[in-house]
Amino acid sequence: MRIIYIFLFALLISKCLFANTIFETNEYELNFSSNNINLIKENKINEIKIKSFQSLIKKNINKTKSEKN
């Protein structure tokens, strides 16, 4: 019986684990010309990480809202 519960649980959460296609992701191009290129590069990469994380959270919130309705 435990195996059946584990299988059903895995089946239910697997729906959330599918990856998006590469065409649904944002692309970023970074161009730098500065004396402090490492600092600017790190700041830009952190901005991209924040934008990507916020986008991911928004998608998950919208997905859970639509599933509830």
Q: Provide the pLDDT for residue 50.
A: 93
Q: Is 36 domain-assigned?
A: yes
- pLDDT tens-digit profile of 20-67? 555 566 676 767 676 778 888 889 899 999 998 998 888 888 877 776
Q: What is the dihedral of CA 66, 16, 25, 34, to 10 degrees?
A: 110
Q: Is 41 domain-assigned?
A: yes
Domain span including residue 43: 20-68
Q: Is 7 domain-assigned?
A: no
Split into its structural domains, the chain has a count of 1
DSSP secondary structure code for residue 17 in this structure: H
- pLDDT tens-digit profile of 1-13? 788 888 777 766 6
Structure tokens at 30: 């970074």
Question: pTM here?
Answer: 0.47
Q: Is 1 domain-assigned?
A: no
